[in-house]
Amino acid sequence: MRLNNFISSTGLCSRRLADEFIKQGKVKLNGNIAIIGQTVCLEDQVEVNGQLLKQKEIYVYLVLNKPTGITCTTERHIKGNIIDYVNYSERIFPIGRLDKDSEGLILLTNDGSIVNKILRSNNKHEKEYVVTVNKAITPSFIDDMSKGVKIYNPVRNEYTLTKQCKIVKIDKKSFEITLSQGLNRQIRRMCTCLGYNVVKLKRIRIMNIALHDLPVGKWRILTEEEVSSLIQS
């Protein structure tokens, strides 16, 4: 990063004023008087008028179109973990999960403050999926899925009724489903309870963030508008 950009990023002043400070000899880089155009690395020390500057933490927000076979974990010893797959230059972690056998949209960040906002079920954030099952979809299947399905929770040894959801048939064996909750392997368990097996499951949207034409296996940085939506969620 250029020196004037670094000074500006700390909130001390504008880039233009930073250049003036540099010209006036008021800026030191690693103890030496700085000059216009120098670059700054993470380990460098920058002083302005004797004040040591610290760069504000820069948050990273990514969206990955996760392929099947990748596990949403930060445990690096697990083969096919999402962190090694993305191979981003800074420490990041996935927000929530997407089954190893599923593909589609997963968010990654280093901003721990937004995780609960997105995952908290009370916020009713929508997640949209395209699902293919092993046999023909009936009207009763659509109706039952949309009203809620009792799925078994082995940890508590009890059944949980899933919340009502939006479901639209695409073709003979495929449908779109929009959930506002995120129980573990929820869609697969709902389908199993109704006598269906999921053949393919792809998440295509979380809130206002959609995959659109992002290829499988690729990631991109969120736009300012998308980040703003997450932070305000």
Annotated catalytic sites, by residue?
Answer: 99
Cα torsion at 137, 170, 126, 81 (round to 10°)? 80
Burial class (CB in 10 A: 0-12, 13-18, 19+), 213: exposed
Q: Are 44 and 3 in contact (CB under 8 A)?
A: no
For 230, left (φ over 0), alpha (ψ -120 to 50), or beta?
Answer: alpha
77: Cβ–Cβ under 8 A, 6 or more apart, which residues? none
Within 10 angstroms of residue 37's Cβ, the number of other Cβ atoms is 10
